[in-house]
Amino acid sequence: MIITPQKARFTQPLKLKSGAVLPEFEVAYETYGELNAARSNAVLVCHALNASHHVAGTYANDPDNVGWWDNMVGPGKPLDTDRFFVIGNNYIGSCFGSTGPTSTNPATGKPWGADFPVVTVEDWVAAQACLADHLGIERFAAVMGGSLGAMQSLQWALSYPQRVRNSIVIAATPRLSAQNIAFNEVARQAIMTDPDFHGGHYYDKGVVPRRGLRIARMIGHITYLSDDAMMEKFGRVLRRVTPGFDFDVDFEIESYLRHQGDKFSTYFDANTYLRITKALDYYDPAADYGGDLSKAFARAQADFLVISFTSDWRFSSARSREIVRALLDNRRVVSYLEIDAPQGHDAFLLDDARYFGALRAYFGNIAL
């Protein structure tokens, strides 16, 4: 599947939850499959922290750049693009194409940098609704996402109840725990205390707070894997013949984390990282309802599929069960799968016969 990324430009201002206003913005997206005549087969895929609108397929000029959910989305795959018109989108505030801190601020002609407002999950969904309008999609057959993407999937059912027939919510939480926020804060502190951060105005200084980004990513990776998966993958295996009794890399896991951190720091924007983690921290649809998630979901009209993974300690199955309980309280049509997979939070990206089989069956029953 050869794909061409696209951009939609919106010149109407977008009022953000914080009260700030984006005077204009762009949303980067890709599409797979064909929109049918009834416009009833569109599925919006929402990405998590470090991914982008490049969900599936490859680029003609970059054949090795395979989309992040290519095992899930494509012809004959669980989300079958022979049947569905699938849209990958990049949320605003990102550094992969949609308007974000690295974009030009029209007021100054320079990159937004630290002046780019803090965006929320609700803001992302509002921008995605603009994209849906632009593509002529009144109602999605499904909105789907994992982790942070699942928050968008939930929020779609709350922000635009009439515009979503199915909300597919994978490895989700209805709100971050104090521990989740704590990890995010350590990551942000790593970035903000990097001498190259310059209060977020590092673009014109010609530097990048790479050390901070590295550490932020290393922390993230620890939370994406289960203890068992990490032990299984790396164990206590040494990178050198004997321990060095110094502070160079001894263990495989150290090497892995350094590698992941190094790689991430070359392509991810620090201002974006700060904003995404804040969007995660702030997300709490029950907040306006006295903490009562069941009341928050009273407005939802979609059918739901909720999937969690037993070894996910970042967003544990108990958090998904909170979502299920709120949906049951509102008598929503909902199915819930608790997949006994060992990999931890990252399991949502991996091929598992039960997980993929359930999605294939679920999509198969969506009438077009």
Partner 1 sequence: MTESETIARWVTPGARVLDLGCGDGVLLKHLWQTRQAPGYGVEIDDAKVVECIRNDVNVLQMDLEDGLAAFADRSFDYVILSETLQAIHRQEPLMKEMLRVGREAIVSFPNFGYWRARIQIAFAGHMPVSKELPYQWYDTPNVHHCTLVDFEALCAKLGLRILERLVLTSGNAVTFLPNLLGSLAVYRVSA
Nearest approach in angstroms of CB 300 to partner 1 is: 15
Interface residue with partner 1, options 339, 343, 346, 349 (CB under 8 A)? 339
Decide: is 168 part of the binding site for partner 1 (CB under 8 A): no
Decide: is 291 part of the binding site for partner 1 (CB under 8 A): no
Count of residues in the chain: 368
- CA-to-CA dists, residue 56 to 4, 59, 109, 284, angstroms: 11, 10, 34, 30
Which residues lie across from 79 on neighbouring strands?
73
Type of residue numbered 37: A
Nearest approach in angstroms of CB 304 to partner 1 is: 9
- Those residues whose C-beta lies under 8 Å from the C-beta of residue 189, and which sit 6 or more positions away, are none
Part of the chain binding partner 1 (CB under 8 A), chosen from 74-82, 126-134, 199-207, 333-341 = 333-341
123 secondary structure, DSSP code: H
Part of the chain binding partner 1 (CB under 8 A), chosen from 48-56, 169-177, 191-199, 331-339 = 331-339
Decide: is 333 part of the binding site for partner 1 (CB under 8 A): yes
Between residues 76 and 199, which has the closer beta carbon with respect to partner 1?
76
297 within 8 A of 155, measured Cβ to Cβ: no
Pairing mode, if any, of strands 21-22 and 14-15? antiparallel
Type of residue numbered 290: G
Decide: is 365 part of the binding site for partner 1 (CB under 8 A): yes
Between residues 105 and 335, which has the closer beta carbon with respect to partner 1?
335
Part of the chain binding partner 1 (CB under 8 A), chosen from 64-72, 79-87, 218-226, 334-342 = 334-342
Part of the chain binding partner 1 (CB under 8 A), chosen from 46-54, 133-141, 205-213, 329-337 = 329-337
Decide: is 321 part of the binding site for partner 1 (CB under 8 A): yes
Nearest approach in angstroms of CB 366 to partner 1 is: 10
Between residues 58 and 316, which has the closer beta carbon with respect to partner 1?
316
Decide: is 182 part of the binding site for partner 1 (CB under 8 A): no
Interface residue with partner 1, options 133, 204, 227, 340 (CB under 8 A)? 340
Q: What is the dihedral of CA 78, 82, 83, 85, to 10 degrees?
A: 90
Between residues 114 and 328, which has the closer beta carbon with respect to partner 1?
328
Helix boundaries (H) for the chain: 121-134, 148-159, 178-192, 210-224, 227-234, 252-267, 270-282, 293-296, 317-329, 353-364
Which positions are annotated as active-site residues?
A: 147, 312, 345
Decide: is 335 part of the binding site for partner 1 (CB under 8 A): yes
Decide: is 262 part of the binding site for partner 1 (CB under 8 A): no
Q: Cβ-count burial of 353 within 10 angstroms (0-12 exposed, 13-18 middle, 19+ buried)? A: exposed
Secondary structure of residue 154 in the 3-state scheme: helix
For residues 10 and 24, give the distance between their C-alpha atoms in angstroms, rounded to a whole number.
Answer: 6
Nearest approach in angstroms of CB 257 to partner 1 is: 32
Nearest approach in angstroms of CB 327 to partner 1 is: 10
Angle between helix axes 252-267 and 227-234 (nearest 10 degrees) is 110
Nearest approach in angstroms of CB 358 to partner 1 is: 5
Q: Which residue has the tokens 């959910």?
A: 69
Pairing mode, if any, of strands 25-32 and 6-10? antiparallel
Decide: is 336 part of the binding site for partner 1 (CB under 8 A): yes
Interface residue with partner 1, options 324, 343, 344, 345 (CB under 8 A)? 324
Interface residue with partner 1, options 207, 287, 364, 368 (CB under 8 A)? 364
Apex 139 CA angle, 356 and 323, nearest 5: 55
User: Which residues sit at the interface with partner 1, rule CB under 8 A?
Assistant: 305, 321, 324-325, 328-329, 331, 333-340, 354, 357-358, 361-362, 364-365
